[in-house]
Amino acid sequence: MKPAPFDYVRPSSVEEACRVLAEAGGGATVIAGGQTLMPLLALRMSQPFILVDINHIAALKGVTRVAGGTRVGPATRQADALRDETLARHLPAFVTALGHVGHYQTRNRGTVGGSVALGEPAAEMPATAVALGARIEIASVRGTRTVPADEFYLGPYMTVLEPDELVTGVVYPDWPDGHLVLFREVAQRPGDFALVGLVGALALESGLIARAGVGWFGMGPTPIRARQAEDALVGSALDRIDPQAMARLALADTAPFDDHHVSAEYRRTVGARIFARALAETLGIRSAA
Amino acid sequence: MSEHVIDLTVNGHRHSARVEARTGLGEFLRDTLGYTGTHLACEHGVCGACTVMVDGVAMRSCLMLAVQADGAQVTTVEGLAAPDGTLHPVQQALKDNFGLQCGFCTPGVAMTLAAVTRDHAGEGLEHALTSAMSGHLCRCTGYQGIRRAIRQLAGDGMREGA
């Protein structure tokens, strides 16, 4: 269980990191917390020539308020983000989901950006970025760009990131004060990747749902936004919402799969159940589920 | 493959060594420095046996490179007991409550429990300790001895009984 040999570099700025990535011509891999990458290296599923350690780049750490949202530096430790007062106040759905990422020991080292950038389809952070409408800031020697989270993920561990690009920030837009959090996941044990999970936010305005963002994880090759359910929810009066019908709509956007844990059918059944329950519970309405 | 000279402190002792970039922290602690109290089992972040403290924070030493611990203060299970051999409260609680059998997972468990007891006080401690145990696999005890040790550490071990 030993990684294949590689060179290790520890840039101290984003510019330096981008330069190394560009010069490596696709042979470099970025390491942040390493809580997913280190196993991939140990199992030799990943064999970079150069490992670029971004843990010493101060500009990539910390949580800041920006116009209309909250920016999380990608190298911010998950444990630090969990304790962050700005995130607790502005992004309760993010904090709820983050509490389900890995274990105490891995959250102490793992980073928010690492989880977002890797794109494990059953992980909480990519789905949270998609659900809340986050934008992912990216840099390379060629310049910078920003990609909406729901256009960032292409497949399991596949994203629009080019080999020479680095995630430099994840910006979560503000949701109205007092918005509600939707979160439910089913995993074999706490801390395991979810078999099925959903995360989202709902903003109410005079008895109507004014804004909805819902993302699935473990329900397809990427995190999946439940667009049809979001569209149906927005404008609905709370007393007119049928959680079961919404669950069916939410499932319509998913593409669940069989794996060695459970079947696609299990994922659909459980997904519908937890969606209806989470929605009913969050809105305080009755569900037949 | 690059090699790096690193300086770090382990259990209060300073060490300097040359490491290959790919050498894991756990492997380095055991094979180079001889701190064999840190146990490596799965070596890919699943079992928790290799948990140590890096700058006071509990983490898996198989999921970190030795070169990344350059400049860090590392604490291993050898650093838990007092210099006169008096066990750390966590070690004592595990011993008192049969919280170990073969002992393979125990160093990691002890490091996690020590970090959590240091950081939490009062009401939430038992819950925090129990939650943090999700990061450890123990194949002998069925966890009940460890849970009794946790209750003792949380202060109601006497009331709950063994």
pLDDT in tens, A165-180: 999 999 999 999 999 9
pLDDT at A190: 81
Closest residue in A to B137 (Cα) is A189
pLDDT at B160: 43
Substitution target in A10, A29, A44, A103 with the highest count of B β-carbons within 10 Å is: A103
Chain B neighbors of A41, CB-CB under 8 A: 22
pLDDT at A287: 58
Q: pLDDT tens digits for B70-107? A: 999 999 999 999 999 999 999 999 999 999 999 999 99
Top-tier CATH class for A7-53? alpha beta
Low-confidence ranges of chain A (pLDDT < 50): 289
pLDDT at A286: 66
Tell me which residue in A7, A108, A190 faces B2 most closely, judged by beta carbons.
A7
pLDDT at A285: 81
Q: Which domains does chain B have, with CATH numbers?
A: 3-79 (3.10.20.30), 89-160 (1.10.150.120)
β-bridge partners, A169:
A137
Query: Mean of the pLDDT values across residues B55-64?
Result: 98
Per-residue DSSP letters for B110-139? HHHHHHHHHH--GGGHHHHHHHHGGG---S
Query: Any idea what DSSP says for residue B69?
Result: G
* B34/A contact by beta carbon, under 8 A: no
In B, residues 117-146, which contact A (CB 8 Å cutoff)? 131-132, 134-135
pLDDT at B158 over 60: no
Instruction: Report the share of chain A in percent with pLDDT over 70.
Output: 99
Q: With contact defined as beta carbons under 8 Å apart, do A35 and B64 qualify?
A: no
Q: Say whether A105 and B64 touch across the interface (CB within 8 A).
A: no
Closest residue in A to B25 (Cα) is A38
Min Cα separation B150/chain A (Å): 16
Min Cα separation A134/chain B (Å): 28
Q: pLDDT tens digits for B26-51? A: 999 999 999 999 999 999 999 999 99
Sequence ranges of the domains in chain A: 7-53, 58-173, 180-283
Q: Say whether A103 and B134 touch across the interface (CB within 8 A).
A: yes
Q: pLDDT tens digits for A13-51? A: 999 999 999 999 999 999 999 999 999 999 999 999 999
Min Cα separation B155/chain A (Å): 22
Min Cα separation B156/chain A (Å): 23
Min Cα separation B54/chain A (Å): 10
Helix, strand, coil shares, percent, chain A, to 5: 35, 25, 35
The fold of A180-283 is Enolase-like; domain 1 (3.30.390)
| The amino acid at B162 | A
Counting one residue from chain A and one from chain B, the pairs whose CB atoms sit within 8 A come to 92
CATH architecture observed for domain A58-173: 2-Layer Sandwich (3.30)
* pLDDT, averaged across chain B: 94
3-state SS class at A237: strand
3-state SS class at A59: helix
pLDDT at B15: 98
Chain B neighbors of A43, CB-CB under 8 A: 44
Q: Say whether A8 and B4 touch across the interface (CB within 8 A).
A: yes
∠ Cα A204 A210 A212 (to 5°): 95
Cβ neighbour number for residue A162 with a 10 Å cutoff: 14
Separation CA B58–CA B45 (nearest Å): 13
Tell me which residue in A39, A55, A108 faces B45 most closely, judged by beta carbons.
A39
